[in-house]
Structure 1
């Protein structure tokens, strides 16, 4: 077996964070939970009958029947596996421990790591202009991608949906063929994780390794070599753990290849490639808003960026909402209205009476450049809940798929409102007003943090009802944090929260009908 290179994942700080510690911290939290293998709370033996997202059903992807466990070819695989396990080295042991028996969480953490690494806004050129990241020339400068919140939520959605559909397919064939794991076939093979009765063919871990490598390589093309090393390390760990033989792995990789192609074909045609519109298009959107409402958002950066961030992200294909206009919020208040004038005073009061608690909340939820963004923040929470609930990989993938579809749909809805209304930010309208958290390069109404967070909280409240009050409280805190920071009007946050909840319900309705409850 190939000796694996030390993955960068090992170099992340390993830390299990309790919630009290989380909320006393003003810095971005680490991605690696440091959790250990655990006994699954359920097997979901009917999981192969659940309704996939991209596939019509689990039989849409075909794999060959496995060799019988009594066949010579299978016995040879067992013998070779036993020999490999006997010569395992310390680096391979660390890899087995790292990947655990729920690599849905591990691959999500890797995605968050990459988002944080690439969440760096391109700076101005020497002449004062800007060059945008180009997927055709990912080396840049600047490097592709700029993993801003719309890019991050989309990457997480495609990763999670592909994982979910791949694991539904895996579960279907596991129950069809009922091949026990190597450690159950031969008592001389010990299993590195907590034993379970989930059949080993096809390998669910191999599905995850291949799907995750392929989707993340498409989203972060400069990381292909790194992701290839991670996939190889993961696949080897599946074998050396005693949980799979090579034919299990091969079948899982076949599923992973097929579902990756389907997911990435959708991604190539969802409209994201047009989201960062040229200046002429951006100017026309701005002019249309001014003609409609008599106002427009202006970027106050120096030097001024010619185009706001992804003006056409609101036209990207949604997952579970048929028409983005159906979830577009009502217009924000006019500048001579009582609602607007009251909100000016609210923002001034927060600025004049800034407390340590308000500052802490604003900083904790900032999720700015160099972090894994607001969508990533909620993925981190979901990872914690998954481990705490001891979910198996299939149910974990379901959680992440619905979470990230809702977050992406919410982001699309939010960006539609931002550029349709083109509403100015407080710093543009209130004389002498200052923020404590910078000024984003896109219009104000509605608040992205509020919409992302409310949508995420509703999905998590559905999946983890015992956490409903907790996560909804966090969503409201995330929303008000942007008001405390001076970045948003109060109505950006309140309307955005309602908007996120409304959009999330479409995804929750799909989840309720998928056969898993």
Structure 2
């Protein structure tokens, strides 16, 4: 990979980056749109957590001529006729593709909880504890490894839930209420998708349950969002109560399966006590003759999630398959050349390089680098008018790839334990803070390259654009002074390598 490749960014890319929000999730406002496809065969696609779309049993709905269903229609007309102004606003908010809204809610929570726990009065640190979420400090600290894990579990559960919903939609083929009774007006575009079970109800229930487990202090807020979403589904005229109840069953069962996996994926062991952290550093020193030393002020005694590299991956069989080559020795010509490159960047920091470093910072109080790629993803989803099922598939694959990328990256970070420039270049200063974990490889580079490869696969028209973004994200950390150029270049290659495992799964899931 040639160094100057990272600097070739088209005007279109620059315009897009300048126009995007840098730090916080944006609320995407769009008019009702007709889906580019309805994916009638979506119930046959291969899910992630379950074996098939019929694994969860949903009984056949009442016949549309039955007294039970006719009563549901009558009740629905009554409810729709008395919609309040607040309910009208909620209808506008939830739209006909609520996968986007639940992703936005998730990014907002990540940004809210992406706060480093501060030191105690005596200089010690207390880590967030899921068994005592109120703390202090409050649980969780939504750093990038935590954030991408939230996004992965949420989107995978949404995807499996919607595959199940699509299976039963086209098995039972019950038309939506507004097609049964002309007096019922649908609030959104008619996409001609059967109503039983409600895909929106699947999303509401699965998302509330996953996010409550990940952000326990937000339980009340999430319950209110679920209730608002479910109420909007009814008042849209697109679903009767039995459609919604069937969707809730699917959502809750899929969320349970997702959380069972999460409970045993190894994340609870990722943040280690100091003796374990010290032993990891000592092993690296014995292996290579160097170790990373934290240079942040105040200094936390343990690096960020030293054992995240041992968390269960989604699509990579073994993390060692994606472990990159060793970084250069600290007395090598390659290392010395990189020292000069970083000094030159620091002494000649152009306005453009500073802009790039700042745009991709994604630090504390933001939605993190994985969140940044989710923000791009939702805009492509709207641009190409994906339906909720295909939207969930897109989010699932990009977030699985980025989580696998993060695990691979953290494995490399703590296996090689490579020092950052601020540690080994005398008098060196950064403009992007001082992360409390080793340098090699760059997390921004791995997350971004993995995300870009999935987007390039799903949206081939955007392949050049997203790969340019990934390369810019990688170099942003070099311009910021916190990474070596080889952290960025090799990290980009690592992310591409990791993502291919997920792309291979996507290629045979039946959706293409």
Name the TM tier (shorter chain): over 0.9
Match of 2:470 among 472, 475, 493: 475
Which of 139, 148, 164 is the matching residue for 2:143?
A: 148
TM-score normalised by the chain length of structure 1:
0.96
Q: Does the 8 Å CA contact 2:296/2:435 hold for their aligned counterparts? A: no
Aligned equivalents of 1:30 and 1:59: distance in 2? 35
| Alpha-carbon distance in structure 2 between the residues aligned to 1:87 and 1:271 | 50
CA shift at 1:266, angstroms? 0.1
Q: Map 1:45-60 onto structure 2 (within 5 A).
A: 45-60=40-55
For 1:456, the equivalent position in structure 2 comes to 451
Distance of 1:26 and 1:264 partners within structure 2: 32
Partner of 2:89: 94
Within the candidate set 439, 442, 456, 1:444 is matched to 439
Task: Tell me the CA shift for residue 25 of structure 1.
Answer: 6.1
Structure 2 residue 480 is matched with structure 1 residue 485: yes
Q: Say whether 1:189 aligns with 2:184.
A: yes
How far did 1:244 drift?
A: 0.3
Q: Whole-Å Cα distance in 2 between the matches of residues 219 and 32 of structure 1?
A: 22
Pick aligned residue for 1:168 from 147, 163, 172: 163
Residue 278 (structure 1) aligned with residue 273 (structure 2): yes
Q: Contact 1:50–1:516 (CA<8 Å) still a contact in 2?
A: yes
Rounded Cα–Cα distance in structure 2 between residues aligned with 1:342 and 1:69? 74
Would you say 1:358 and 2:331 are equivalent positions?
no
For the residue of structure 2 that corresponds to 1:227, the secondary structure is: helix
Rounded Cα–Cα distance in structure 2 between residues aligned with 1:348 and 1:36: 49
1:289 counterpart residue number? 284
Q: CA deviation at 1:21?
A: 5.5
Contact 2:204 2:226 survives alignment (8 Å): yes
Q: Which residue of 2 aligns with 1:34?
A: 29
2: CA distance, partners of 1:269 / 1:202: 30
Change (3 A) 1:441 1:265: same
User: How far, CA to CA, are the matches of 1:463 and 1:27 in structure 2?
Assistant: 24
Other structure's SS at 1:59 match: coil
After TM superposition, give the deviation of residue 37 of structure 1 in Å. 2.2
- Conservation of the 8 A alpha-carbon contact between 2:36 and 2:386: yes
Query: Structure 1 residue 35: deviation in Å?
Result: 2.1
CA contact (8 A) 1:31 1:112 kept: no
One of 208, 218, 222 as aligned partner of 1:213: 208
Query: 1:84 & 1:276 partners in 2: Cα distance?
Result: 50
In 2, Cα distance between equivalents of 1:414 and 1:152: 15
Among 306, 313, 324, the residue aligned to 1:311: 306
State the TM-score, normalizing by the size of structure 2.
0.97
Which residue in the other structure is 1:241 paired with? 236
| 2-structure distance, mates of 1:52, 1:208 | 15
Match of 2:414 among 419, 431, 451: 419
Query: 1:401 matched to which residue of 2?
Result: 396
| Cα deviation, residue 59, structure 1 | 1.1
Please point out which of 57, 66, 70 is paired with 1:71: 66
Distance in 2 (CA, whole Å) between partners of 1:467 and 1:449 is 20
Q: 8 Å contact 2:25–2:107 — kept in the other structure?
A: no
Q: Secondary structure at the match of 2:139?
A: coil
Aligned-partner SS, 1:60:
coil
Shift of 1:28: 1.7
Contact 2:118–2:125 under 8 Å retained in 1 = yes
Post-superposition CA distance 1:206-237 (Å, at most 9, x none)? 00000000000000000000000000000000
What residue is the counterpart of 2:511 in the other structure? 516
* 2:116 is the counterpart of 1:117: no
Are residue 325 (structure 1) and residue 320 (structure 2) matched?
yes
Report if aligned partners of 1:25, 1:364 keep a CA contact under 8 Å in 2: no
Alpha-carbon separation, structure 2, partners of 1:19 and 1:263: 38
